Amino acid sequence: MTVAGLIAAWVEGVRRRPWLVVSVALVLTAVSLWLAVTRIGVSTDTSAMLDPDLPFQRQDRALKAAFPQLGGELAVVIDARTGAQAEAAAADLATALAPRADLFAAVEDLAGDPFFRRNGLLFLDLDTLYDLSDTLAEAQPFLGALWPDPSLRGLAGLMDTAADALAGGDAAPSLAPGGGLALGPVLDRMATVAEARLEGDAAARLDWQALMRGRATPDPSDARRIVLAKPTLDLEALSPAGAAMTAVRATAQDLGLTPDAGVTVRLTGAAAMETEELKSVQTGMDVAGAITFVAVVSLLIIGLRSPRLILATVATLVVGLCWTAGLAAVTVGTLNMISVAFAVLFIGLSVDFGIHVALRYREGRDRGADNAAALAEAARGVGPALVLCAVAAAIAFLSFLPTDYRGLAQLGLISGMGMGVAFVANLTLPPAILALLPARPGGGGRDGAARALVGRIEAGARARARAVALGALVLAVGAAALVPAARFDFDPLNLRDPDTESVATVLDLLDDPQVTPYTLDVLAADLDAAEALADRMAALPEVAGAITARDLVPAEQEEKLFVIGDMALFLGASLAQDTRAPPDVPALRAAAVTLGEALARLAGAPGADSETRAAADRFAAVLARADQADALAGVDRALTADLPPVLDRLRDSLTAGPVTLADLPASLRDRYLAPDGRARVEARSALDVRDPDQLARFVDAVRAEVPEATGSPVLIRESGRTVLRAFAEAAALALLGITVLLAVTLRRVRDVLLVYAPLTLAALLTVATAAVLGLPFNFANVIVLPLLFGLGVASAIHLVKRERDETTVADAMASSTPRAVVFSALTTIGSFGSIAASSHPGTASMGVLLTIAIGLTLVCTLGVLPALLALWPSRKGISKAGR
């Protein structure tokens, strides 16, 4: 018995026992739903997306086994109005989070560690330390006046002293070497802060740390601190670091670290980005699924125009999706970030089978056939083509199984099984439903417009067959010339939603040249071996520097300690005075009067420059507006709140002593020295690693010298190579498998070539379009071309087989098959197009390229294939036409 006969016999058996079929289908659906709900999980472990036995994967695991604190961290980025405020916020947050051992394996505020409070000046380069010493020497009058009384009262006394100096002809004190930050800019900054406070900005405050560094306004990086937290991840949950992230945000809120208070707390790091990426993917898939279902049902209403046919097709779609989910639960169990898209893909592809069955069935009914005959005709007419289409699509999906791209292989496995489910379901459930609810004949008469459009396309293609074929050839050559311009984006950061907090924050951090997540790491046997490796890597022009644990120990300590000791001599007396109690309201009022008088004297002093005079007048005018006790207290806090912590840290830094490797904080030292004595070398790039080409140069240069180098640049580079290799292997396997399938089933070289001709053109045009539009291929959308072979052949197979069954090309194009091709492609485009609406760039890019590919396939199939069929008709068509 032929394939068509077997399918017809199956459909006839279904037609005779519709209630049994429907009952069994409902039971299978219920079981599948139960399996899907109880067994399907989602893994967020991105390292499992590629074969774990790949060399670079093993090297990365070895590094993380030696240094488990590396990777998977939450970086809590704290931005405040001033450096002192950021420092206090970081310390408070780290102190509050550290006891949460259920959520965090470790919480580190390195910059706030007592070691760095005491020895931080040793980590400055020598020239910067000398500059700071000169600045503090010139600022000593300020410090001497403010240390014992860090309030508006102390500030008034300081300005009174400055006014006396100017009145006596002396120079006004400055806060930078050579008067780089003179009194005028300081007064102007004070006026700005006081004015902001009076106008309702409760978080306004003067950054004394910036003033001491010779800057009137703080640099954003000076008012930023980063707390590193190692969360306990639940990789079986859709939000692996969700509980830890929620705890950070809630703790920050409880501590008053809010924008209203002048503090912004943001989360980034690998853990945060992966968690938010999964949320983005889930939201995108939920939205895409809803859009897909609505789009598909709408197109079915337009294309089928029969409530019973629509019911049969939609019911089959829902049942088939449940069966596929049940199979996924049994065979896979845990989905990944790519395989979660199987539902949308199934909807878009399964409905194609249903459309061909429904329109072929209706074609028979419209010709007057009874229900049984129409079902049998549909089974015999489209059954063999559906077999080919299902197997071809399954081959395309399953072609990723032998590759190292495990994430896409999982999607391929589920979707490949889904094609089998779609085939069986669409030749089982619709016949059962239509046996119970036969569609009424006559609906086809309303398809005149669609038939006329397809007829005009076919007639035009046949009438100008040679011109169309030549034009297609020219297009193919032009597209092939553009193929080399297509590019692959290796950077996974570009696949993430830039509007999520974690990605937006890391992009902000990357603007700071001192921050880079793209460093290479090498695991050495011991510290001496690490030193040798660091020297070899540092000699490469692509490497800006390579450091080991020994490089963490400050250099030139003897001279630096001499400078710090000198600073302690001229500042020690000022910072050793007893502090006065904070002023009460009457004392504040008196201080405001004194400060106002001092500012008036500064503005009129003969030795004052124009900038100082203008700033003193402005400050005095602003101060005069603080006539209420609350307003005056607010101005006092705004101007002096940072003084005590800044002066305390300055005093602590003057007690620095010699530092050895053993003196470093364990949390820092242990990032470079493992407990077993192995050592890590960290290399920074001299190139722009956000540029894929320069990142590749950096990685290739270092790994040529040190093949065992790992780190994020290596993972990006080698993962990209692995995915490209997987893509090439999958495309070759899909092409080979589908070619063998077509050769065995169609048994004519002519038919195989006709099936591939529009598909090849569509593939070239797809890559060329991506190149022209600047749409890079990436880890998510590389599935497009292998799938194009599997999905694109479907339309051509249906048309070629229909042409073989009919007398002429015109008869084939006048049948229901071209309309089924059109509506099938439109439903697929509607399905894949919905993925393009995802906020996740990787998922969206897959939808965009799939939509382009399927759209071009439809155009090439309907625009080029009829011309090729006319130029190269089948023998059957020739003999029948000649009678």
According to the model, what pLDDT value does residue 809 have?
Answer: 58
Could you tell me if 398 and 537 lie in one domain? no
Question: Rounded to whole angstroms, how far apart are CA atoms 493 and 512?
Answer: 17
Instruction: Looking at the structure, tell me whether residues 671 and 814 fall in a common domain.
Output: no
Kindly report, residue by residue over 511-548, the tens digit of the pLDDT.
Answer: 776 677 788 999 999 999 999 999 999 999 999 889 99
Tokens 């990723």 map to which residue? 400
Residue with more model confidence, 582 or 452: 582
Nearest CA-CA partner of 778 in 495, 518, 402, 503? 495
675 with 819, same domain? no
Give the model confidence (pLDDT) of 760-795 as tens digits: 888 888 889 888 888 888 777 777 766 777 667 766
pLDDT for position 20: 94
**CA-CA-CA-CA torsion sign (160, 163, 169, 171):** positive
Other C-beta atoms closer than 10 Å to the C-beta of 66 total: 17
Is residue 834 situated within a structural domain? yes
For residue 320, being part of any structural domain is answered with: yes
Instruction: Decide: 645 and 88 in contact? Cβ < 8 Å.
Output: yes
Residues 742, 703 share a domain: no
Using CA atoms, how far apart are residues 779 and 724, in angstroms rounded to an integer?
9
Whole-model pTM: value is: 0.75
The number of angstroms, rounded, from the C-alpha of 641 to the middle of its chain's C-alpha atoms is 40
Whether residues 698 and 798 fall in one domain: no
pLDDT for the residue 532: 92
Write down which residue in 657, 674, 708 finishes a domain. 708
Average pLDDT, the chain: 82
Q: Are residues 477 and 349 in the same domain?
A: yes
The pLDDT of residue 878: 43
Last residue of a domain, one of 658, 685, 708: 708
Q: 679 with 788, same domain?
A: no
Are 415 and 514 found together in one domain?
no
Do 319 and 430 fall into the same domain?
yes
Residue 110 forms part of a structural domain: no
Task: Give the end of a domain, one of 708, 733, 766.
Answer: 708
State the pLDDT at residue 533.
Answer: 92
What DSSP state is assigned to residue 777?
B
| Residue 88: closest CA among 198, 225, 211 | 225
Domain span at residue 785? 3-26+276-490+717-882
**Residue (of 763, 767, 796, 785) closest to 862 by Cα position:** 796
The pLDDT confidence band at residue 379, using thresholds 50, 70 and 90, is confident
Interval 3-9 mean pLDDT: 85
pLDDT tens digits, one per residue of 213-259 = 767 677 777 888 999 998 887 766 667 788 888 999 999 999 999 99
SS3 state of residue 778: coil
Q: How confident is the model at residue 804 (pLDDT cuts 50, 70, 90)?
A: low
Model confidence at 270, pLDDT cuts 50, 70, 90, reads confident
For residue 231, which phi and psi values (nearest 5 degrees)?
A: -80, 155
Is 672 among the domain residues?
yes
How many structural domains are present in the chain? 2
DSSP state, residue 550: G
pLDDT of residue 802: 65
Do 420 and 370 lie in a common domain?
A: yes
In residues, how long is the chain? 883
- Specify whether the CB–CB gap between 295 and 834 falls below 8 A: yes
| Residues in CB range of 120: below 8 A, 6 or more apart | 653, 656
Please count the CA atoms within 13 angstroms of the CA of 109 that sit on its side-chain side: 21
> Residue 881 pLDDT more than 60?
no
The predicted-structure confidence for 856-867, as pLDDT tens digits, reads as follows 887 887 778 777
Which residues fall within 8 angstroms of residue 870, CB to CB, at 6 or more apart?
Answer: 461, 462, 465, 809
541 shares its domain with 398: no
The CA distance from 462 to 862, in Å, is 11
**Same structural domain for residues 876 and 734?**
yes
CA distances from 617 to 179, 286, 494 (A): 21, 61, 52
The 10s digit of each residue's pLDDT in 639-695 is 999 888 888 888 899 999 999 999 998 888 888 999 999 999 999 988 887 777 888
Tell whether the model's pLDDT for residue 180 goes beyond 50: no
Does residue 687 sit within a domain? Answer: yes
Residue (of 515, 517, 526, 516) closest to 672 by Cα position: 526
Strands 41-42 and 334-335, bridge-based pairing: parallel
Cβ-contact 87, 74 below 8 angstroms = no
96 falls within a domain: no
Domain presence at residue 839: yes
In a domain, 309, yes or no: yes
399 has a pLDDT exceeding 90: no
pLDDT band at 389 (very low <50, low <70, confident <90, very high): confident
pLDDT tens sequence across 426-448: 999 999 998 888 887 765 444 55
DSSP string of 492-504, one letter each residue = GGGGS-TTSHHHH
